[in-house]
Amino acid sequence: MSAELTLGAEEELHLIDLDSWHLSASAPHLLNQLASESYAAELQRTTVETNSRVVQSLGELRDELVRLRRGVMDVAGPLGVGIAAVGTAPRSEISDFELTPSQRFGAMQEKYRLLVDEQLICGFQVHVGVSDRDLAIQLAQRVAEHLPTLLALSASSPFWNGHDTGYASVRSLVWQRWPSAGATGPLASAAEYDELIADLIATGVISDDGMAYFDIRPSAHAPTLELRVCDALPLVDDAVLIAGLFRATVRAAEIDIENGVPLQPRRAPVQRAALWQAARTGLSSELLSAGPRPRPIQAGEAVRSLIESLRPVLHEFGEYEVVRDLAEQALARGNSSDRQRAAFARRQSLDDVMRLVVDETESLGAPPRRA
């Protein structure tokens, strides 16, 4: 392998007041007690970001996710604050937004206004080690067709501003409003990518390469290819599943490049349609199949087809059975969006949904405390 294919992850966690079930603007206080190399502030004072170490295996990544969540829980719990790894906190309201004090964030709020003021969302980013930036660009072009399936598995944001939106991932729609979000379009090299970033900065619409909010990109701060399309996931198992699938798609794409398999890119509107479909229905209905001319396919079939296509590389990592079993469990219980709606349907209570997502996030792989 010419790519290193190490793993890392960043989780964004909502902070929840356990008395009111509303967002808690306690991030600055918590971050003062947490290790700076592992935790970071976000735009909103109601969110903490965790940053894993670089690891080699899914088992090690699971341990990192558990360690980092537990670190936040240890300092937040005594304050009556819980954590929720979901795209949107079901009880959150736009009025809950409080900006994290910093010169950069203040400038962003002045420039982007509503986009910042409604940034009450959390995502899950996966990093796969690819130090050759030209290779990273080529890999990104090839794995893009699989991003809708990963989004559907991760979808955890049906509620927005206290209401059911009808979408499985409203977070992805909110995120796509940023001017530098979405797909890069066709690129053949790191030089072309750097030129694209330079052109965007020159327009004045973004200020630096850290604002290149593409669905998949060479990381702005590490020698990795970074997946950015997914909602935050409350269950650690589901986060591990996303990481395993993403790394396998990267390795499969690398093999295709080594074997001279020609790239068959999707047209940008088709990719956008596939991501919209994943955001709309998640795992509950149909997704669009992989390939340049996708067609509707049942979500479960799309997930299983992807795993079978990746079987050789998953065996190469020694992770086929783990990923297959995690995927079957995810399909059986539904994604977080499905589970949230089921919790709400019992008593029409958003508090019940909040309790569910906090319990799942804080279960750290054990069965949640309360349904």
Residues whose CB is less than 8 angstroms from the CB of residue 68 and which lie 6 or more positions away in sequence, other chains included: 11, 38, 39, 50, 51, 52
Between CA 18 and CA 97 the distance in angstroms is: 18
Q: Which tokens in the block code for residue 267?
A: 């047209």
Spans of all domains in the chain? 7-362
Which among 156, 38, 23, 46 is positioned nearest to 100, based on CA atoms? Answer: 46
Nearest residue to 180 via CA among 167, 199, 160, 157: 199
User: Radius of gyration over alpha carbons of the chain, in Å?
Assistant: 19
Cβ atoms of 172 and 279 within 8 Å: the answer is yes
Residue 84 structure tokens: 């929720």
Each of the 371 residues of the chain gets a pLDDT tens digit; together they read: 567 899 999 999 999 999 999 999 999 999 999 988 999 999 999 999 999 999 999 999 999 999 999 999 999 999 999 999 999 999 999 999 999 999 999 999 999 999 999 999 999 999 999 999 999 999 999 999 999 999 999 999 999 999 999 999 999 999 999 999 999 999 999 999 999 999 999 999 999 999 999 999 998 788 999 999 999 999 999 999 999 999 999 999 999 999 999 999 999 999 999 999 999 999 999 999 998 899 999 999 999 999 999 999 999 999 999 999 999 999 999 999 999 999 999 999 999 999 999 999 999 876 554 43
pLDDT digits (tens, 9 = 90+) for 280-292: 999 999 999 998 8
Q: Among 3.60.40.10, 3.40.50.300, 3.30.590.20, 3.50.50.60, what is the CATH number of 7-362?
A: 3.30.590.20
- Torsion 110-112-113-115 (CA) sign: negative
Is residue 248 within 8 A of residue 311, CB to CB? The reply is no
